[in-house]
């Protein structure tokens, strides 16, 4: 059985779907603080907190757990700046409780959902895994601290782990059953689609004066289904005896904010109403991943991460999501 902590979230539900499709038994531990039980595609759901050691002892002691996928985390950068204690408590301290419980119960394989935010301001592009890790906000620091603990837990206790550093997770289930629903939503693609559909007055475009071709920021978007596939590859890698490591997950190609808006217009047939605003604090001009290591070591290749495909899947989900909310599934 695979224990998926945070399996009711955006990436988590896709990971659960991929695990079930591959024939794994899945137990999800989620406190539903941001995840949604109704989007879980199957498996057993245990409601509870990753920081509850007694619950973890019960779960890990009563089931044959072959591996843990840990995706439970708060993820709003601005919120982490305003309330770092909450981020270090939820993302870092509770992760330590999970790691200790795994060691106590002899569960030795962990896939951890990390972030490109561990790198901070890029000093060279594309960003490879050896790029210095100097996070510039508490969210990134809270992830980096877990990665550091994992390195030490690997050496000292033999807990083998893969940290997956997501760049910009985007898109939705191609069948339209699962997708992004953060509350509040802060991510570019869902906000741009909602604006195109008239569900928001406008997309606020943060900054047109960056040193990029069209003056807007460049990001590396990776389809959530590609991300999910990488978690299975990472488990296989660990079960084959692979060493603890961190891997970038992106598409390897950046698109500007303006290119995203153009894609939304192409896909939806509606122009995105835009309101220009100054730069958002802490946004680097350009983030692009070097994904060669994940390709070589995990045998992973993004397959759905072309921009229009991502936007099309996200758009279908946005429409479907409204129907689900209105009771027309
Ligand atoms: N943007 C806008 N308007 C919006 C929202 C975003 O112009 O309303 C722009 C941002 O300024 C940025 C780009 O769109 O240039 C992407 O912004 P997102 O908020 O969608 O994503 P980020 O790149 O800021 O964040 C992502 C992940 C975080 C992670 C961060 C750093 O979502 O979890 O990368 O790696 F911390």
Q: Decide: 231 and 69 in contact? Cβ < 8 Å.
A: yes
The pLDDT tens digits for 155-199 are 999 999 999 999 999 999 999 999 999 999 999 999 999 999 999
Q: Could you tell me if 192 and 68 lie in one domain?
A: no
Domain-embedded: residue 82? yes
Residue 244 and residue 196 share a domain: no
Residues annotated as catalytic are 139
Residue nearest atom 26 in ligand 1 by C-alpha distance? 168
Residue at 30 is within a domain:
yes
Atom of ligand 1 nearest to the CA of 117: 35
Omega within 30 of 0 (cis) for the link into 184: yes
Q: Do 15 and 160 share a domain, yes or no?
A: yes
**Ligand 1 center from residue 151 Cα (angstroms):** 28
Distance 254 CA to ligand 1 centre (A): 13
Share of the chain above pLDDT 90, in %: 96
- Please state, in angstroms and rounded to a whole number, the distance separating the CA atoms of residues 72 and 56: 14
The structure tokens listed for 203 are: 């997309």
Atom of ligand 1 nearest to the CA of 216: 15
What pTM was estimated for this model as a whole?
0.98
Best of 141, 218, 219 for a ligand 1 pocket test (most atoms within 8 Å of beta carbon):
219
Task: Determine the pLDDT at residue 44.
Answer: 98
Whether 17 and 114 share a structural domain: yes
**Residue 199 belongs to some domain of the structure:** yes
Instruction: Tell me which residue has its CA closest to atom 34 in ligand 1.
Output: 168
Cis before 126 (ω within 30): yes
Based on the domain organization, do 232 and 271 belong to the same domain? no
Work out the mean pLDDT of the chain and round it to a whole number.
97
CA-116 nearest atom, ligand 1: 35
Domain around 283: 188-219+252-289+304-325
The CATH number covering residue 214 comes to 3.90.25.10
| Residues of the chain predicted below pLDDT 70 | 324-329
235 and 166, same structural domain? Answer: yes
Q: Locate tokens 């419980």: which residue?
A: 101
Chain-centroid distance of CA 39 in Å reads: 16
Asked whether residue 52 falls in the same domain as residue 9, the answer is yes
Smallest CA separation from ligand 1 atom 19, residue? 187
Q: Buried b vs exposed e over 237-252: b needs ≥16 C-beta within 10 Å?
A: bbeeebebbbbbbbbb
CA of 219 to the centre of ligand 1 (A): 8
């Amino acid at each position: 059985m695979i224990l998926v902590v945070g399996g009711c979230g955006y990436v988590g539900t896709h990971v659960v779907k991929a695990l079930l499709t591959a024939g794994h038994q899945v137990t999800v531990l989620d406190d539903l603080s941001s995840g949604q039980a109704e989007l879980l595609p199957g498996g057993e759901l245990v409601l509870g907190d990753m920081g509850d050691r007694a619950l973890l002892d019960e779960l890990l002691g009563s089931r044959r757990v072959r591996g843990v996928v840990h995706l439970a985390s708060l993820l709003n950068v601005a919120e982490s700046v305003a309330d770092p204690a909450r981020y270090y408590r939820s993302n870092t301290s509770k992760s330590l409780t999970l790691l200790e419980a795994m060691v106590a119960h002899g569960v030795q394989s962990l896939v951890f959902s990390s972030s490109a935010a561990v790198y901070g301001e890029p000093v060279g592009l594309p960003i490879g895994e050896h790029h210095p890790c100097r996070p510039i906000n508490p969210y990134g620091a809270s992830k980096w601290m877990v990665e550091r603990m994992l390195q030490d837990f690997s050496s000292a206790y033999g807990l083998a782990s893969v940290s997956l550093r997501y760049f910009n997770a985007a898109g939705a289930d191609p069948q339209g059953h699962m997708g992004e629903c953060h509350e509040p939503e802060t991510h570019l693609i869902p906000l741009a689609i909602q604006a195109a559909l008239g569900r928001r007055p406008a997309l606020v475009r943060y900054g047109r004066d960056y040193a990029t071709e069209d003056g807007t920021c460049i990001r590396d978007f990776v389809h959530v289904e590609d991300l999910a596939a990488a978690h299975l590859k990472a488990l296989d890698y660990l079960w084959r005896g692979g060493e603890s490591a961190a891997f970038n997950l992106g598409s390897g190609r950046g698109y500007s904010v303006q290119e995203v808006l153009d894609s939304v217009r192409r896909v939806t047939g509606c122009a995105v109403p835009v309101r220009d605003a100054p730069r958002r604090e802490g946004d680097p001009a350009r983030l692009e991943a070097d994904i060669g290591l994940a390709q070589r070591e995990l045998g992973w290749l993004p397959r759905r991460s072309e921009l229009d495909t991502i936007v099309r899947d996200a758009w279908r989900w946005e429409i479907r999501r409204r129907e689900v909310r209105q009771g027309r599934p």
